[in-house]
A and B are shown apart, each in its own frame.
Chain A
Amino acid sequence: MKKLTVSILQFPGTNCEYDTVYALKKLGHKTHIVWHKEETLPEKTDLVIIPGGFSYGDYLRSGSIARFSPVIKAVKQYADKGGLVLGICNGFQILTEMGLLPGALKRNNNLHFISKHQTVKVINSNNAFLNQCSKDEILNIPVAHADGNYYIDDWGLEEMERNGQILLRYCDIEGSPTVLNGSVEQIAGICNSEKNVFGLMPHPERAMEFVLGSEDGVRMLKGFQNA
């Protein structure tokens, strides 16, 4: 197994950084929490995770202000060189605001903050993230968001489908697509066309222990060590 150095970003209002540290340490990796004012990433970073939370109180739009933090410039350079980046929940919102991932995340259709365990179906596993999962596998992963309603125009959707960029869709326990928050095509997770930047609304770092309801997050986060 490859031991990774994982840099986990922290903005004012981030609240999942310690769960993310716990999850990655459980998998045997080395973690650094990187404050948003830093202008460089720790040396030898193998993976950057932008964790969940409410950076800058979700003011203006979720992720819109975090995107201009100093550390983001370093993340962009890192991603442009092919470095692996994962955005979870608010991290996904930040990645779309930065333009590293296509589309945008709008207010949930029912206007509720949705917080529960949710089944998602793996659509593409041929990538650095989900390679330990199988295509069509159903995973049980918690969601907790108000702005998870993924939007992309028809042209963008077609391009993502063609490139295998749709990674996860919300589904029922049998695997049939289910409407959770109004996302286009029930999309829960995507990647960029180069397949080094990943974003998802569900929280794999909260599904690391069977006693806490699910350990399916282990299989998801394990992928990076084989990348």
Chain B
Amino acid sequence: MKAIVNVYLKEGVLDPQGKAAHHALGSLGFDTVTDVRIGKQIILKLEAKDRATAEAEVKEMTETLLANTVIEDYSIEISE
């Protein structure tokens, strides 16, 4: 099974990298952009008996290590 974990700074926590990219896009004339958030994507391959087990396990991994929930939110997508 494959799990894709997206980790990004929480709403309300200033994202300096996103802000810099937003500014750069504006300088290049892409003035339709109203916000940029930069996060990271972690792709895991794992063995699990079913989707639910995989999801529970990846959630635990994310909360323990992959994301710092003081400042970050995350989403998990599981595929076969």
Q: Which residues of A contact B (CB under 8 A)?
A: 60-61, 64-65, 68, 96-97, 103-104, 106-111, 149, 151, 182
Interface residue B14 (Cβ < 8 Å from any Cβ of A): yes
Q: Is the CB of B68 within 8 A of A111?
A: no
Q: Is the CB of B17 within 8 A of A111?
A: yes
Count of chain A to chain B residue pairs whose CB atoms are closer than 8 Å in the complex: 33
Partner of A111, one of B9, B14, B20, B70: B20
Q: Is the CB of B65 within 8 A of A111?
A: no
Q: Is the CB of B65 within 8 A of A60?
A: yes
Q: Which residues of B contact A (CB under 8 A)?
A: 9, 13-14, 16-17, 20, 65-66, 68, 70-71
Query: Across the interface, which residues of A come within 8 angstroms of B68, CB to CB?
Result: 61, 64, 97, 104
Q: Is the CB of A151 within 8 A of B71?
A: yes
**B58 shortest CB reach to chain A, Å:** 15
Q: How far is the CA of A110 from the CA of B19 in the complex (A)?
A: 10
With both beta carbons as reference points, the residue of chain B lying nearest to A181 in the complex is identified as B16
Q: How far is the CA of A150 from the CA of B62 in the complex (A)?
A: 22
Partner of B70, one of A65, A104, A109: A104
